[in-house]
């Protein structure tokens, strides 16, 4: 039976993300104020969806951190909006946390062109997803987060099945209950946001909830990898005026040094805020501090505990 025939057969059953939202009936004849209020009320649901998935999100963070500490990598894979959200989150990690671009990668069906032009026809081809993972040498050391709002996208399901066959850590993010789609993965994150304001347009509530979850996951993993001290992004390298001002602020607040000293420290460390902080707080020279950071696996707090016992 073809996909078209199968779709016709199942037309009377609509999964949650395709159902009609009664709150937005006759949306086209409502006033601008009414439309905006409908959106405002509906956009409270993604927060609740994320809150309901906290146990699974916590498990994902801890397991991903373990894999990345063991030389693994994190991959997001999806189509359409889901794919774009994964690529966005992955592309933010190098500038925010000074990570190697290979550490967190986003894969979208159709590649880079699909970021601006849709490639719906590729969503139904699972073999392409497997080829995309093989092109990146995806292995059992790595982590795959498959993002599919409907829980049914063949491209994503193919990637998830391939990941499971390798015994890589396999995580799914969807916006439908198990009655709509069964996803047998290591961690199954369900962000249930209900029917969309525009029926089936999962770039809305489902997309918002997914963006929130990815923010939480990647940021929390980076915290656990030692990229953060307190609530500051310390694993950054100064490459423009904005980052210079941020770096100086961090050294003022945490390192308790004046501007001139902060500038000199950044020069000595080639713009490394983390290394500059360790020198400021420990009194060590650059070589000693760098060796200690390496021994502490890049964790500033661990390094300081070694020096000061605090």
How many residues are recorded in the chain?
A: 310
Domain covering 228-308 in this structure, CATH number:
1.10.8.1080
pTM for this model (two decimals): 0.90
Q: How many helices (H) and strands (E) does the chain have?
A: 13, 7
Q: How far apart are CA 129 and CA 142, in angstroms?
A: 16
Any catalytic annotation for residue 56?
A: no
pLDDT value for 302 = 95
Average pLDDT on 271-285 reads 95
Domain 16-224 has CATH 3.40.50.10490: yes
* Annotated catalytic residue, options 63, 123, 178, 310: 123
- Higher per-residue pLDDT: 19 or 13: 19
| DSSP one-letter string for 265-307 | HHHHTTTBHHHHHHHHHH---HHHHHHHHHHTTT-HHHHHHHH
Average pLDDT, the chain: 92
Instruction: Render pLDDT for 63-76 as a digit per residue (tens, 0 to 9).
Output: 999 999 999 999 99
* Annotated catalytic residue, options 18, 45, 63, 92: 92
Instruction: Render pLDDT for 147-181 as a digit per residue (tens, 0 to 9).
Output: 999 999 999 999 999 999 999 999 999 999 999 99
End-to-end CA distance of the chain: 67
pLDDT at residue 310 greater than cutoff 70: no
Percent over 90 (pLDDT), the chain:
84
Instruction: Render pLDDT for 90-136 as a digit per residue (tens, 0 to 9).
Output: 999 998 999 999 999 999 999 999 998 877 767 777 899 999 999 99
Domain ranges in the chain? Answer: 16-224, 228-308
Q: Which residues of 177-210 are buried (b: 16+ CB within 10 A; e: fewer)?
A: eeebbebebbbbbbbbbbbbbeebebbbbbbbbb
Which run of H or E residues covers position 169? strand 169-174
Which residues 6+ apart lie within 8 Å of 238 measured at CB?
244, 247, 266, 271, 273
Average pLDDT on 8-36 reads 84
Could you count the other beta carbons within 10 Å of the beta carbon of residue 170?
Answer: 24
Tokens linked to 175 = 């916006």
Average pLDDT on 265-280 reads 94
């Amino acid at each position: 039976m073809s996909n078209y025939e199968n779709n016709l057969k199942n037309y009377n059953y609509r999964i949650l993300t395709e159902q009609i939202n009664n709150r937005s009936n006759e949306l086209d004849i409502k006033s601008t104020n009414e439309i905006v209020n409908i959106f405002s009320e509906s956009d409270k649901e993604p927060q609740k969806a994320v809150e309901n998935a906290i146990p699974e999100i916590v498990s994902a963070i801890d397991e991903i951190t373990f894999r990345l500490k063991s030389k693994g990598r994190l991959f997001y894979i999806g189509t359409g909006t889901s794919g774009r959200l994964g690529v966005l989150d992955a592309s933010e990690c190098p500038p925010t946390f000074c990570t190697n671009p290979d550490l967190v990668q986003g894969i979208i069906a159709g590649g880079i062109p699909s970021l601006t032009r849709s490639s719906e026809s590729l969503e139904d081809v699972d073999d392409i997803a497997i080829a995309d993972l093989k092109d990146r040498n995806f292995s059992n050391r790595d982590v795959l987060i498959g993002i599919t709002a409907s829980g049914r996208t063949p491209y994503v399901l193919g990637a998830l099945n391939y990941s499971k066959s390798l015994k890589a850590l396999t995580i799914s993010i969807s916006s439908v209950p198990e009655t709509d789609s069964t996803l047998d993965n290591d961690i199954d994150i369900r962000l249930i946001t209900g029917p969309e304001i525009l029926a089936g347009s999962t770039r809305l509530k489902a997309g918002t909830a997914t963006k929130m979850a990815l923010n939480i996951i990647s940021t929390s993993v980076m915290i656990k990898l030692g990229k953060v001290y307190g609530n500051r992004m310390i694993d950054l390298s100064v490459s423009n005026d904005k980052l210079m001002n941020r770096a100086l602020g961090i050294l003022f607040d945490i390192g308790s040094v004046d501007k001139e000293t902060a500038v000199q420290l950044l020069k000595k460390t080639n713009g490394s805020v983390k290394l500059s902080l360790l020198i400021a707080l420990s009194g060590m020279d650059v070589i000693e501090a760098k060796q200690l950071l390496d021994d502490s696996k890049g964790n500033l707090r661990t390094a300081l505990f070694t020096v000061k016992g605090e």
